[in-house]
């Protein structure tokens, strides 16, 4: 699988970068999510760093940090996707796989963009069906089975989490053959019919925009840097970046949005 990291020129910072935290950030959900899982020792250094610079935290942020340092039991008061009203500009999706003699584990990464900003990114490890050929497993994009802590049944994951956010927002994938083929396989093998997805794909837009001839030409024509992705969350963020840039250069991308539902597997 080929992904594109630096967009249009090496000196330009991508619009969406992997999320961090800052004392005055607007995205309370992400700030609290980060604090919730942080080690107290790290937070002490984090707090000292900004205090030495004379930078003040929002009162609610400081309270959360101090609680986590003191007791280590801070809980994010916001829930996803409720904090964002379940509505996004688009959601980008990427996959990783691992083979073992017994099973295949699939890692799906998602990046969420709202009001032109990356607001959340996450991944889920799932156990897809055993049809290896149907899943079109790409080489060089592997995670090791023994490294995976949480693996979910895709049907339960879809019903509890993914159906709501994917059915109600534009889904951006890299390739309508591979990624869409994976989704179709999962839906068919798990007997899932509760899907109605509007989607578009980056490769199709590259072709329509006139910027795509061969992978080797992409760097010269559009300034993309081509490399292999090894982090499914970062792959999803990269996909979001590429789509964002393409949507600016090709505003008619909406004509390339297609619909996937149980009655339409095209």
150 against 249, higher pLDDT: 249
What pLDDT was estimated at residue 128? 55
* CB of 25 closer than 8 Å to CB of 119: no
Q: Which of 112-116, 186-190, 207-211, 254-258 has the lowest mean pLDDT?
A: 207-211
Q: What domains are there in the chain, each with its CATH number?
A: 3-17+86-260 (3.30.420.10)
Give the E-state strand segments of the chain in sequence order: 3-4, 90-99, 104-114, 117-127, 152-153, 171-173, 197-201, 226-227, 258-260
- Alpha-carbon dihedral angle through residues 137, 139, 143, 144, given to the nearest 10 degrees: 90
Q: Which of 69-73, 135-139, 181-185 has the lowest mean pLDDT?
A: 135-139
pTM for the full predicted model = 0.81
Helices first, then strands: H and E counts in the chain: 10, 9
Q: Span 145-150, mean pLDDT?
A: 53
Q: What are the tens digits of pLDDT across the range 211-241?
A: 655 433 443 333 333 333 457 888 888 888 8
Find the distance separating the first CA and the last CA of the chain, reported in whole Å. 22
Which residue has tokens 């590429």?
A: 242
**Most confidently predicted of 10-14, 38-42, 220-224:** 38-42
Q: What are the tens digits of pLDDT across the range 192-216?
A: 999 999 999 988 887 777 665 543 3
């Amino acid at each position: 699988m080929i992904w594109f990291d630096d967009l249009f020129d090496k000196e330009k910072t991508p619009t969406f970068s992997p999320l961090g935290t800052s004392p005055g950030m607007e995205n309370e959900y992400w700030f609290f999510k980060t604090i919730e899982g942080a080690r107290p020792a790290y937070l002490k250094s984090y707090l000292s760093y900004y205090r030495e610079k004379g930078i003040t935290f929002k009162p609610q942020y400081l309270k959360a940090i101090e609680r986590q340092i003191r007791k280590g039991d801070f809980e994010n008061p916001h829930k996803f996707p409720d904090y964002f009203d379940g509505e996004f500009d688009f959601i980008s999706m990427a996959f990783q796989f691992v083979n073992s003699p017994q099973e295949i584990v699939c890692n799906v990464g998602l990046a969420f963009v709202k009001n032109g900003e990356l607001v959340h990114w996450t991944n889920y490890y799932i156990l897809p069906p055993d049809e290896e050929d149907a899943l079109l497993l790409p080489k060089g994009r592997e995670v090791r089975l023994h490294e995976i802590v949480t693996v979910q049944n895709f049907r339960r994951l879809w019903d509890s989490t993914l159906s709501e956010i994917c059915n109600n927002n534009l889904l951006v994938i890299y390739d309508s053959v591979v990624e869409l083929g994976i989704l179709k396989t999962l839906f068919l093998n798990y007997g899932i019919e509760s899907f109605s997805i509007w989607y578009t794909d980056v490769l199709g837009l590259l072709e329509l925009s006139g910027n795509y001839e061969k992978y080797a030409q992409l760097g010269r024509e559009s300034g993309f840097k081509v490399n292999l992705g090894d982090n499914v969350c970062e792959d999803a963020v990269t996909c979001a970046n590429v789509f964002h840039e393409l949507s600016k250069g090709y505003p008619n991308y909406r004509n390339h949005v297609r619909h996937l539902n149980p009655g339409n597997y095209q």
